[in-house]
A and B are shown apart, each in its own frame.
Chain A
Amino acid sequence: GESVGLHLPTLSVQEGDNSIINCAYSNSASDYFIWYKQESGKGPQFIIDIRSNMDKRQGQRVTVLLNKTVKHLSLQIAATQPGDSAVYFCAETTGGGADGLTFGKGTHLIIQP
């Protein structure tokens, strides 16, 4: 059988409800953060980003909140749809592009019909 991997936290919400996914990041020097969505068998898909000089940024149905004091990032998804079911990762980095992204452990979001 397949090896046991990291057990992902799971968040199950009803279709149409709002969801909040949380992430604690580790590097206080990180100045750029991205939320990615990953569907089974696919690569990470960009959702929204935020720089460290901001504490909130809104997109279409999504909002990212950044609390640098406690090194916490959250992703709010409004009016969830079945297509939102996926694993969501936060990622952090420093620098202008040369540094790689450090990904969090991921949260599995399940949208119940």
Chain B
Amino acid sequence: EPEVTQTPSHQVTQMGQEVILRCVPISNHLYFYWYRQILGQKVEFLVSFYNNEISEKSEIFDDQFSVERPDGSNFTLKIRSTKLEDSAMYFCASSQGLVGYTFGSGTRLTVV
């Protein structure tokens, strides 16, 4: 079964540093997403990406965040100047519209 692959599985970074979280969506999917889950809380939408541009973003997704599809397979989330409260699980997902909405296993980001 096709999978969404995320790397690394765990990232530790110092406050103020920049991190890039990487994702390989399912190959024939057209929509790509990033979500965040703070420990013990519900999953929260950050951003959706379609046709090489941002389609929708939540109020969480401020200027600290950016996304990029640098080539035909990768989809990245960059977090600039990380803060302690950015510590969370970050999930990438992809879909063909609403069909096949699949999440990756996540990257646990710890900001120290």
Contact = CB atoms under 8 A, between A and B. Distances in A.
B39 A45 contact: no
A38 B31 CA distance: 22
Interface residues of B, number: 31
Chain B interface mostly helix, strand, loop or mixed?
strand
Contacts of B97: 96-97
Size category, A interface: 20 to 34
B50 A89 contact: no
A105 B48 CA distance: 21
B52 interface: no
Nearest to B49: A98
Contact of A106 (B42, B44, B91, B102): B42
A100 B35 contact: yes
Contact of B104 (A43, A89, A100): A43
Going nearest first, the 3 A-B pairs with the smallest beta carbon separation are A5-B40, A100-B45, A98-B55
Given A96-B98, A100-B56, A105-B42, 11 more contacts: A5-B40, A43-B103, A45-B103, A49-B101, A96-B97, A97-B95, A98-B31, A98-B50, A102-B45, A104-B42, A106-B42
